[in-house]
Every structure is written in C-alpha cells, then in structure tokens.
Amino acid sequence: MFTFKQIEALYWTVRLGTLHAAARKLHTSQSAITKRIQDMEGEFDLALFDRTGHKAVLTSRGHEIFGMARDLLAQRDKMLTRLQGLHVHTGTLRLGITEITAMTWLPAFIRELRNQYPRVALEPSIDMGADLLQKLVAGRIDLAIVHEELITAELDSVRLRPLEFVWTGAADQIDDTRIHTPADIAAMPLLRQSRESGLNRIYDLWLDPHVSTNNIFTINSLIAMAGLTSAGFGISCLPRDFFSEWIRHRRLSILRTSIAPPQSVYRAAYRRDADASFYHDLAMLAQQCCDFSDPV
C-alpha cells in the first residue's frame, strides 16, 4: 500500500524539478526521497520515470499518477483542515515581501499568523518584486507580496489593496502652484531604485508615452530615496501614506500633476501546487492585515 510520504516525494520531485529541491521542501534527505519513489515503483511494479537518458523524465503512466497525486494531496489538506482546524498546519512559511510591506503591516501579519497557525514558522525574504517572482516560480519561496503588474498567468493571487503614490521633491525646489504634466516629470531628474524594482514599471506606465532620460538609480531603499529627494538630488515617486509625516513637516513637497498620480495594487501570489489551498488561506490573512500607512 502506498503512503502519503511516497506520494509527496513523487509530486514534489516532479513539481520542483529535482530530488534535492523535493528533499528541501519536505525537510528530509535526497536519499529518502529516492527511496520513497523506488519503493512506490517496486510495490506496484510500474516505472514512474524513464531513466534511460541523461535526465529522468516521467513515463506516460507517471504523468497519470502525478496528476492523481496532486489531486489527492490537495484533498488531504482540505480534509485535515476541516477535521482538525487551523492548528494542523506545521512547517515553515517562506514569505517574500518588498520593503514597503516590511516597514508597514508585516508585524500585524506575524501576530495573526502566530495566533491562527501557531505551529507554522515564518521565514521572510525581503527583495525586489521581480526577484521575488522568480523565487516563487522556482519554489524557493511559498508566498510573495508584490505589485499586481508583475504577476504572471501561471500564478494564483489574492488582491490586497492599492498603494497610492505621489511625485515628491525638496520643499525649497517645488513650486506648489504649478501643474506638472507627465512630459514635465519625464524631463526632471528622477530618482529610482534598481532596474529590477517593480516600481520602475509603475513609473514608466504613468509617464508613457514620455520616457525619462535623466534617471538616477540608487540603492533599493525607499527611505534612502526619500532622503535624497529631500536633499534636492531629484524627484521621486513615493507611497503617500507612509511618507505623510515627511510631507506634513515639509521634508518633502508634493508635485501637483495634470493627471492622477500612479497607483499600484498589491497581491499575494502563490503557485498552483497541491498545497495551494493553504497558501490561499494565508493570502486571505494578508488581505486582512494589509495597511500601507506609517505604523508609527
């Protein structure tokens, strides 16, 4: 008779592409994963993988069994949650977040995670949105909180809330009476994060069809960008709520614009895996906690 450990070994080896990745996912050794798959093949006298080439690939029967394994694991997780409640979940949640989430609502999410899933440990990873999406697709993280503009069709996601931006500059350099067009903004020195930052796509969509040619790429820190902007190095597009105190105390001044400033919707994204229902629940928890205003 097969075991869930054998089914998990097969599913995650195929889904993640290597025995090593499956072992890391299941918190065991690569040799243990190999043995579970071999035992499953031996017990039912079937070949799940064609090992005649340089790389093992699923046989036609293996593809069939893989699909059933995915459905079986998904139903198991739903059943365990229904029978035992939220406390059944164990392990580590590898959460990918951008800087603005870390600076605002991450503590609230951690409190709720510990309350609702006390046996789940959190392993946060702070990075640029594009890099987080690569990690998510590769299976190196489980859930990513990123701009909607970055999410690809292969992922599922839950809408969190919009993040509203404003164009800002040094208070002593900004004419509060002037209305700036996108062409005006494009012609000014523009402070940006690195090219991998999802914010750059938001800027460029707002400026389109105009292209900023006077870009000043800086370190990947919103606080650093705000500081350089306040010092007069250029203008920047920053989250309105988080920097409201900077604006109120005239450390930054808002540029009035002819069209509404940029806005981006954040989403909690996850892969369409056998355990996707659990990550959907966590994404809904993120939706409850999401608040981009300054927590201080």
pLDDT in tens, 31-56: 988 888 888 888 888 888 877 766 66
User: What is the rounded CA–CA span in Å between residue 80 and residue 87?
Assistant: 10
Q: Does residue 275 lie in a domain region?
A: yes
Whole domain around residue 246: which residue ranges? 163-263
Q: What is the 8-class DSSP label of residue 234?
A: -
Contact, 11 vs 274, CB < 8 A?
A: yes
Token pair of 192 as six digits: 């940006």
Residue 260, pLDDT above cutoff 90: yes
Distances (CA, A) of 111 to 108, 145, 147, 163, 178: 5, 17, 23, 22, 45
Do 249 and 193 fall within a single domain?
yes
pLDDT one-digit tens code per residue, 76-123: 776 766 655 544 566 789 999 999 999 999 999 999 999 988 888 999
Do 259 and 168 fall within a single domain?
yes
Q: Does residue 55 lie in a domain region?
A: yes
User: What is the rounded CA–CA span in Å between residue 114 and residue 18?
Assistant: 32
Residue that is last in its domain, among 84, 115, 141: 84
Do 200 and 244 fall within a single domain?
yes
Do 79 and 200 fall within a single domain?
no
Confidence at 159, pLDDT banded by 50, 70, 90: very high
**Chain centroid offset of residue 111 CA:** 19
What is the pTM assigned to this prediction?
0.72
How many domains does one find in the chain? 3
Residue among 116, 115, 213, 229 at smallest CA distance from 170:
229
Q: What is the model's pLDDT at position 16?
A: 82
Do 249 and 228 fall within a single domain?
yes
Q: What is the model's pLDDT at position 225?
A: 92
Q: Does residue 156 lie in a domain region?
A: yes
Residue that is last in its domain, among 84, 111, 143: 84
Do 156 and 268 fall within a single domain?
yes
* Residues linked to residue 166 through DSSP beta bridges, in sequence order: 238
Residue among 13, 16, 74 at smallest CA distance from 40:
13
User: What is the rounded CA–CA span in Å between residue 99 and residue 144?
Assistant: 12
Q: Give the pLDDT mean for 130-150.
A: 91
Do 40 and 68 fall within a single domain?
yes
Residue that is last in its domain, among 67, 84, 101: 84
Contact, 179 vs 256, CB < 8 A?
A: yes
Do 144 and 273 fall within a single domain?
yes
Do 269 and 259 fall within a single domain?
no
User: What is the rounded CA–CA span in Å between residue 176 and residue 246?
Assistant: 16
Residue 164 burial (CB count, 10 A) = 14
Contact, 243 vs 100, CB < 8 A?
A: no
Do 154 and 224 fall within a single domain?
no
Q: Does residue 296 lie in a domain region?
A: no
Q: Does residue 295 lie in a domain region?
A: no
Do 30 and 117 fall within a single domain?
no
- Position 293: which residue type? S
For 175-203, give one letter per residue: b (16+ CB within 10 A) or e: eeeeebebeebbebebbbbeeebbbbebb
> Domain containing 170 — which CATH number?
3.40.190.10
Do 37 and 106 fall within a single domain?
no
Q: Does residue 294 lie in a domain region?
A: no
